[in-house]
Structure 1
Amino acid sequence: MAKGDSDPVAVSAYASFAERYDALAPIKPHNALYERPASLELLGDVTGLNILDAGCGSGICSEKLARSGARVSAFDITPEMLALARQRCAGLDVDIRLGNVERALDWLADGSFDRILCSLALDYVEKLEPVFAEFHRVSCPGGWLVFSMGHPMRDWQDTRTRGTKTYFETNRWGMHWGGFGEPNPYVESYRRPLGDILNGLADTGWTLDRFVEPLPAPEMEMVDPRHFAELSLAPAFIGVRAHK
Structure 2
Amino acid sequence: MKQNLGTEEAIKRWDTFADTYSKNHTEQGDLHKEVFLNPTLFSLMGNIKNKKVLDAGCGEGYLSRIFYKSGAIVTAVDYSPRMIEITKERTPNDLLIDYRQGNCEDLNTLEDNSFDLIVSNMVIQDLANYDKAFQEMYRLLVDGGSFIFSILHPCFITPKSGWEKTESGEKLHWNVDNYFYEGVYEQPALGDKEKMLFFHRTLTSYVNTLINTGFTIESIVEPKPSKEMLKKYPSFEEDFRCADFMVFKLKK
TM-score, normalisation: structure 1: 0.87
Q: Which residue type is aligned with residue 77 of structure 1? A: Y
Q: Deviations over 1:169-199 (max 9, x none)?
A: 3121112133xxx545521111110011111
Paired residue type of 1:93: L
Q: Are 1:25 and 1:32, in contact at CA under 8 Å, matched by a contact in 2?
A: no
- Is 2:248 the counterpart of 1:236? no
Which of 13-22 and 136-145 deviates more? 13-22
What is the rounded CA distance, in whole Å, between the counterparts of 1:19 and 1:140 in structure 2? 35
Tell which deviates more after alignment, 169-178 or 229-238.
Answer: 169-178
Structure 2 partner of 1:17: 17
**Equivalent residue number for residue 183 of structure 2:** 171
Please state whether the residue corresponding to 1:132 is helix, strand or coil. helix
State the 1:158 CA deviation. 4.1
Shift of 1:21: 1.8
Give, in angstroms, the shift of residue 10 of structure 1: 3.7
The CA distance in 1 between the partners of 2:193 and 2:225, in whole Å, is 24
2:197 aligned partner, one-letter code: E
Conserved in 2, the CA contact under 8 Å of 1:10 and 1:78?
no
1:100 aligns with 2:108: no
Change (3 A) 1:22 1:218: farther
Distance (Å, rounded) in 1 between the aligned partners of 2:159 and 2:15: 28
Secondary structure of 1:36's counterpart equals helix
**TM-score between both structures, scaled by the size of structure 2:** 0.84
Residue pairs, 1:157-196, within 5 angstroms: 158-159=160-161, 166-178=178-190, 183=192, 185-196=194-205
Which of residues 128, 150, 153 in structure 1 aligns to 2:152?
150
Q: Does 1:220 align with 2:222?
A: no
Identity %: 29
Deviations 1:60-87 (A, max 9, x none): 1100000100001111111111011112
* Structure 1 residues 153 and 25, CA gap change in structure 2 (3 angstroms): same
Tell me which residue corresponds to 2:73: 71
Q: Distance in 2 between matches of 1:187 and 1:235?
A: 21
Deviation of 1:59 after TM superposition, in Å, equals 0.6
Task: Find the aligned partners of 2:36 and 2:193 in 1 and give their Cα distance.
Answer: 22
Decide whether the 8 Å contact of 1:213 with 1:237 is kept in 2. yes
Could you tell me which runs of 5 or more consecutive residues in structure 2 were left unpaired when the two chains were aligned.
163-176
Report how far residue 146 of structure 1 moved: 0.2
For 2:159 and 2:89, locate their aligned partners in 1 and report how far apart those are by CA, in whole Å. Answer: 39
Alpha carbons of 1:218 and 1:16: their partners in 2 closer, same or farther (altered >3 Å)? farther
The count of residues paired between Structure 1 and Structure 2 equals: 233
Structure 1 pair 184–236 and aligned structure 2 pair: CA distance change class (3 A): farther
Q: CA offsets, 1:178-233, max 9 Å, x none?
A: 3xxx545521111110011111111011100000001123343245433x122122
Which residue identity lines up with residue 47 of structure 2 in the other structure? D
Contact in 2 for aligned 1:9/1:189 (Cα 8 Å): no
Looking at structure 2, the residues matched to 110 and 183 of structure 1 have their Cα atoms a distance apart, in angstroms, of 39
Asked if 1 retains the 8 angstrom alpha-carbon contact of 2:160 and 2:178, the reply is no
CA 1:216–1:12: 2 relative to 1, 3 Å: farther
- 1:157 deviates by 8.0
* Deviation, structure 1 residue 47: 0.5
Contact 1:12-1:187 within 8 A present in 2 as well: no
- The separation in 2 between residues aligned to 1:200 and 1:233, in whole angstroms, is 29
Q: Match for 1:43 among 42, 45, 48? A: 45
Q: 1:101 to 1:9 in 2, by over 3 A?
A: farther
Q: Could you tell me whether the CA contact under 8 Å between 2:159 and 2:179 is conserved in 1?
A: no
Q: Which has the larger radius of gyration?
A: 2
Distance 1:222 1:17 in 2: 31
Alpha-carbon deviations, 1:104-132, whole Å to 9, x = none? x1111111100000110000112322211
Higher helix share: 1
Q: Equivalent residue for 1:81?
A: 83
Aligned to 2:169: none
